[in-house]
């Protein structure tokens, strides 16, 4: 099984900060990675798929990059609505075995 | 715009089973895939499996193979997740999620664009 390791597990930031979250895969997953945002008591929201494709309706301050085993989610200028937990999700076009990372909680500094 | 409405909270005893429904409205039902994701209290997200509606093909995470069945009824635009042999560790909120229109391949399981409101399943003796 492919393991996904996210870092940091928590981070404190201020409105306007640039925030970077990292996700590492235990083996090469090409660009088969998505990013989700979840707020307490709510369903997750898809932000990025295929490592860098912005889902429709998602603000452009969110961006994703990476390939192979290392990926990043960047929030260019943190907004009040962005305080949430973020999860990466690895997938594969051939094998339907998806795995989420452990999550990164973005808190107010 | 697709909306997903899930069935209500359930309480079950260990060893029993539960079936959660997810009714879609808006859009063309079989033009998507549906995933089921669960979240135990205070924990992260876990993908359980999904169904490619166009073909009626289901796929399951290895952890749940043999214990979960995901089906769909095109006539009522409803998907179902049936989990058996429940144990206390299955206490969680269960979500259904649907891909964007015309995203109907295995990789579309990860493109969970529309979400249900979640169903709390509590397993307790």
Residue B92 CB contacts under 8 Å (≥ 6 apart), including other chains: B38, B39, B40, B41, B43, B46, B120, B121
**CA–CA distance, B123 with B125 (Å, rounded to integer):** 7
- Residue A17 to chain B, least CA–CA distance (Å): 25
Residue of B nearest to A33 (CA): B110
Contact assignment for A100 to B118 by CB distance below 8 Å:
no
pLDDT on residue A1: 81
Of B59, B61, B113, the CB nearest to A46: B113
Instruction: Tell me the chain A residues in contact with residue B35 when contact means C-beta distances shorter than 8 Å.
Output: 98
Contact assignment for B59 to A96 by CB distance below 8 Å: yes
The mean pLDDT of chain A is 95
Does A100 contact B110 at a Cβ distance shorter than 8 Å?
no
Which residue numbers in chain B have pLDDT < 70? none
**Would strands B10-12 and B119-123 be described as parallel, antiparallel, or unpaired?**
parallel
Q: Over range A11-16, report the average pLDDT.
A: 97
Residue A26 has pLDDT above 70, yes or no: yes
* pLDDT tens digits, A58-98: 999 999 999 999 999 999 999 999 999 999 999 876 777 89
Would you call B61 an interface residue with chain A, using a CB distance cutoff of 8 Å?
Answer: yes
Query: What is the predicted pLDDT for the residue at B48?
Result: 97
Instruction: Indicate the helix (H) or strand (E) that contains A47.
Output: strand A45-49
Give the integer Cα–Cα distance in Å for B91 and B40.
6
pLDDT over 90 (residue A9): yes
Q: Express each pLDDT in B34-58 by its tens digit.
A: 999 999 999 999 999 999 999 999 9
Reduce the DSSP state of residue B63 to 3 states and report it: helix
What is the pLDDT at residue A93?
A: 66
Among B120, B123, B112, B91, smallest CA distance to B36 is for B112
Composition of chain A by helix, strand, coil, percent to 5: 5, 50, 50
Per-residue pLDDT band for A28 (boundaries 50, 70, 90) equals very high
Q: What span, in angstroms and rounded, lies between the C-alpha atoms of A77 and A66?
A: 20
Which residues have CB under 8 Å from A41's CB, separation 6+? Answer: none
Looking at residue A55, what is its pLDDT?
Answer: 95
Residues in chain B within 8 Å Cβ distance of A92: 106-107
CA distances from A48 to B46, B68, B88 (A): 18, 28, 33
Task: Give the residue from chain A lying closest to B62, CA to CA.
Answer: A97
Quote the pLDDT of residue B30. Answer: 85
Chain B residues with CB under 8 Å of A96 CB are: 49-50, 59-60, 106, 109
């Amino acid at each position: 099984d492919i393991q996904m390791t996210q870092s940091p597990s928590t981070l404190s930031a201020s409105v306007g900060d640039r925030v970077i979250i990292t996700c590492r895969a235990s083996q090469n997953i090409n660009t088969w990675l998505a990013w989700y945002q979840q707020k307490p008591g709510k369903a997750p929201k898809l932000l990025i798929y295929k490592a860098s494709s912005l889902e429709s309706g998602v603000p452009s301050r969110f961006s994703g990059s990476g390939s192979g085993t290392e990926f990043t989610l960047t929030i260019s200028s943190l907004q009040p609505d962005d305080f949430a937990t973020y999860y990466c999700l690895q997938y594969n076009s051939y094998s339907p075995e998806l795995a989420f990372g452990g999550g990164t909680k973005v808190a107010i500094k | 715009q697709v909306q997903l409405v899930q069935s209500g909270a359930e309480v079950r005893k260990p060893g029993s089973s539960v079936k959660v429904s997810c009714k879609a409205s808006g859009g063309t039902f079989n033009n998507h895939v549906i995933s089921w994701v669960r979240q135990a209290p205070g924990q992260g997200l876990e993908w359980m499996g999904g169904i490619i509606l166009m073909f009626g093909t289901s796929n399951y995470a290895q952890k749940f193979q043999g214990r979960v069945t995901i089906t769909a009824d095109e006539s009522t635009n409803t998907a179902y997740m049936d989990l058996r042999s429940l144990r206390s560790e299955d206490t969680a909120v269960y979500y259904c999620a649907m891909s964007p229109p015309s995203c109907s391949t295995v990789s579309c399981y990860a493109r969970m664009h529309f979400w249900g409101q979640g169903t709390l399943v509590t397993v307790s003796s």
